[in-house]
Structure 1
């Protein structure tokens, strides 16, 4: 977890970039999250991308299901779905997903790209690994 501070605020972009550079310079790493501003940097540095291209309704349900639960990526408990975050989810498909696919197309050589359109597809992928 590098973006969120325990008090619910975020680190600066400069500090985020510094920590990101440290992470992607390692031999192996996993980064979960969109962080669109640094997406190209991460795609260029990785060997595998897993994209969850799930329907908006499923993403909203997932966000709602996490309310009130302890999470490793957020050091506080959410009591409700933040309206701004809900709007971000609802507009993601139109506003951000096309850029994600553009970057995946641009960097598709020499890396594995796996797109899951359902949670069941992800579950089956993991079952094959075990």
Structure 2
């Protein structure tokens, strides 16, 4: 595992898994939310965001967490490992609530946390498995046919996965 794409619903634990995994394997980690939005919640232009990801995946080792289905093909084409965190929506909402309380809302780039909760986001989380999961799986199949795909279906499974990895030397 040298080039790892982490995908999952908001609140699924992508940032936490990414940070811990990067530390274990000694790779740089990029939280796409932290580079996509500026301090005023303005997103990067689509072309700039794609170009940034092209630079990130050109590195020999990386962990990148984030969905962004419009540019997912860039990460998938270069990943040797794809981690899909596919946990129930209510667990994701609970994770979002815990994150909100822990960080008191707002943006925390140092932690890769960009917390902007609104009804559209809540609907997105609740419908993620029904709407996004099929699209994500199709993109993985199309753009990462040789990558190892690891699906984690609970927080416990994520902890077990991380605990089973050797530390970087």
User: The TM-score by the shorter chain falls in which range?
Assistant: 0.7 to 0.9
TM-score (norm: length of structure 2): 0.68
How many residue pairs end up in the alignment?
Answer: 127
Q: Does 1:54 align with 2:54?
A: no
Residue in structure 1 matched with residue 159 of structure 2 by the alignment: 123
Alpha-carbon displacement from aligned partner over 1:96-120 (angstroms, at most 9, x marks no partner)? 1101112223345421110000010
The Cα offsets for residues 24-81 of structure 1, whole Å up to 9 and x where unpaired, read as 1111111111111111221111100011000011111111111141633246x65xx3
Structure showing greater Rg: 1
1:7 aligns with 2:7: no
Q: Aligned equivalents of 1:55 and 1:2: distance in 2?
A: 27
Alignment of 1:1-130 (within 5 A): 1-68=34-101, 69=103, 71=108, 72-74=111-113, 81-107=117-143, 109-130=145-166
Name structure 1 gaps, 5 residues minimum.
Answer: none
- Give yes or no for contact 1:44–1:107 (8 Å, CA) kept in 2: yes
Q: Distance in 1 between matches of 2:140 and 2:44?
A: 27
TM-score by length of 1: 0.87
Residues 11 and 101 (structure 1), Cα distance of their counterparts in 2 relative to 1, 3 Å cut: same
Contact 2:86 2:152 in 1 (8 A): yes
Give the distance between the partners of 2:163 and 2:47, measured in 1 at CA. Answer: 39
- The 3-state SS of whatever aligns with 1:34 is coil
